[in-house]
Amino acid sequence: MTTSASARSRIGFLMRDLSRRYLPAGDLHEGETALAKIVAETEDPFSVLISTILSQRTRDEMTERASRQLFAKYRTPSAIANADRADLERLIKPVGFYRQKAVQIQRVSRVLLDRHEGHVPRTYEELIELPQVGPKTANCVLVYGYGEARIPVDTHVHRISNRLGLVRTRTPEQTEKALMRVFPRDLWLHVNELFIRFGKEVCRPIGPRCEACSFRSFCRYYRTVVGPKRAAQSRRRKRTSRRA
Query: pLDDT digits over 41-99, tens only?
Result: 777 999 999 999 999 888 888 999 999 999 999 999 999 999 999 999 999 999 999 99
User: Is it the case that residue 7 has pLDDT exceeding 60?
Assistant: yes
The amino acid present at 111, given as its one-letter code, is: V
pLDDT band at 243 (very low <50, low <70, confident <90, very high): low
Domains of the chain from N-terminus onward:
5-23+151-229 (1.10.1670.10), 31-146 (1.10.340.30)
Beta carbons of 139 and 150 less than 8 angstroms apart: yes
Position 24 scores a pLDDT of: 72
First to last CA, the chain: 50
pLDDT confidence of residue 169 = 96
- Please, what is the average pLDDT of the chain? 89
pLDDT of 210-242, one tens digit each?
999 999 999 999 999 987 887 777 777 777 766
SS3 state of residue 74: coil
Asked if 44 and 77 touch (Cβ cutoff 8 Å), the reply is no
